[in-house]
A and B are shown apart, each in its own frame.
Chain A
Amino acid sequence: MAERTGNKQLVKGNVALAEGAVQAGCKCYFGYPITPQNAVPEYLSWRLPEVGGTFLQAESEVASINMVLGAALTGARVMTSSSSPGISLMQEGISFLAGDQLPAVIVNMQRCGPGLGGIQPTQGDYFQATRGGGHGDYRTLVLAPANVQELFDFTYLAFDLADKYRNPILVLGDAILGQMKEPAILEPDHPREEPDKSGWTLTGAKDGRPLRNIRSMFLGEGVQEQLNYTLREKYDRMERDEVRYDQRWCDDADCAIIAFGTAARIAISAIHEARDEGIRVGLFRPQTLYPFPFDAIRSLSERVKRLLVLELNTGQMVEDVRAAVGDRAAVGFHGRPAGGLPSVTEVLAKIEEL
């Protein structure tokens, strides 16, 4: 959480991310209401028209994601947002966005499941988010903010990444991050990078240029296979260039907590208390969940021999951490699913068990 300078205002997470989209040049929003992210469409319903954009409440999540696909085809910067059950409904469309190689931003303010579940915070969608989510051999880049400033910054960044890779980008938050308010600077810290998309968008061939098709189904021999290799090459580039994480208090640490999003916030409180008691605990916080910071965690495990993975679920990211660490360090896990939030006291007890 690097300190930024500028005018700080007390702002709700859902509003900060929506404003991040506006400042990234988002011109279209399509969505269907669901708790706990309704402040996003509420805000964009007046804010987007103000900047000449289109806000449309669709009849369903399935319609929303396909409207996103249609807008993306034209080259417009486009976003939808929802929460877990709604994101499940969108998976076919997200798979099509990946297959069609279209840029779009999708925000998931997670609530607990499975099924309709409840409205409480969770990180139960880690697997869905990091393994593609829909059918087919694809990935979405997943940004995991842990504070209101990052909700603004990461949503702003997501649009550049979507265009850079022509791929859907996920912003993965949760009910706490969306609903809470804290100080944030609602101004970007770098100019946006919107590439020229005129070489592939569907804008009508009125100038006599050859007709274009964008599709994901190729029946010719080996063509579909080649598309998958092309996609894989993009994911390799993401894995090389887009890994992001925040590592703090690890230099002198005897043990470290690995957590993202709201779980990382709880971890920070526990680490402050532990350090007050003389227990040297560090924090490793992935900011991208795909690509996952395998190398950085591997190198952390060379130095810090006891690691605790903290999640708001019964154990998902811990599988990636174990794959990164192997037998270099001991990996413990603590998680509470479906709104059962771990207390600082609980986390401290787990640290002492390590």
Chain B
Amino acid sequence: MQCEIITAGFGGQGILFTGDLIAQAGLREGKHVTFLPTYGVAMRGGTANCLVKVSDEEIGSPLFNRPNAGIIMNEPSLVKFQSGVAQGGVIIANSTLIDHSIYERGDDVRIFWVPATQTARDVAGTERSANMVALGAFLAVEPIVEVATIEDILRDVSGEHKRALIEKNIAALEAGRDLVAAQAA
């Protein structure tokens, strides 16, 4: 099975970091992974996206083909990527920043509206953890890697001085998971 995930949003929303985390977790769980960022003419406040593939088998092309998941953090990114998501795919959309009216896909894609930015403010005290809310929500729908693996990586890569920040991010991750569990119920 191969999962092809786009993460997209504003520069500064932790878009590349989120993609990197998924790839790191896939590697720790013994899967094949690739991570391809956009590069060059991108800046803080501009749009950023990256493509991650996680597979049980060797991955050929690291490029955009038929993504079956999108973690979409702002409106321009939903406009740009919604049509590319494969039938049966999943979209996590940050409803704090995206107006429902721009969504054009039908029932062939499962979309989950997650107030990621608001939830991050409420749970972590900073909207910078919105990516973790969205990631938690995504992994609740598509458990391609374990949330526990993501948490292990967050703890491993950060020094003691960032401990408080890590625990906030983990709280945001778990809040995202719970939001989707509530929607699915």
Residue ranges of A at the interface with B (Cβ–Cβ < 8 Å): 1, 8-10, 35-36, 119, 175-176, 179-183, 262, 265-272, 341, 343-345
Contacts and interface: CB of A to CB of B under 8 A. Distances in A.
In this complex, the member of A10, A270, A343 whose beta carbon has the largest number of chain B beta carbons within 10 angstroms is A10
14 contacts: A10-B33, A119-B41, A179-B37, A179-B39, A180-B34, A180-B35, A180-B37, A180-B62, A183-B32, A183-B33, A268-B60, A270-B60, A341-B63, A344-B65
Contacts of A262: 61
Interface string B41-67: 100000000000000011111110100
A36 B38 CA distance: 11
Interface string B72-85: 00000000000000
B35 A181 contact: yes
Contacts, number: 66
Contacts of A267: 60
Given A10-B24, A119-B39, A269 B34 contact: no
Contacts of A269: 59-61, 65
A176 B63 contact: yes
B60 A35 contact: no
B61 A268 contact: yes
B79 to A, nearest CB: 21
B175 to A, nearest CB: 26
A175 to B, nearest CB: 8
B61 A182 contact: no
Contact of A10 (B20, B36, B61): B20
A1 B58 CA distance: 10
B23 interface: yes
Interface of B: 20, 23-24, 27, 32-37, 39-41, 57-63, 65
Contacts of B23: 10, 181
Given A265-B61, A266-B60, A181 B40 contact: no
Contacts of B33: 10, 182-183
A183 B40 CA distance: 23
Nearest to B51: A180
A300 B65 CA distance: 30
In this complex, the member of B20, B24, B39 whose beta carbon has the largest number of chain A beta carbons within 10 angstroms is B39
Given A181-B20, A182-B35, A183-B33, A36 B40 contact: yes
A15 to B, nearest CB: 13
B128 to A, nearest CB: 22
Given A10-B35, A181-B20, A182-B35, A176 B27 contact: no
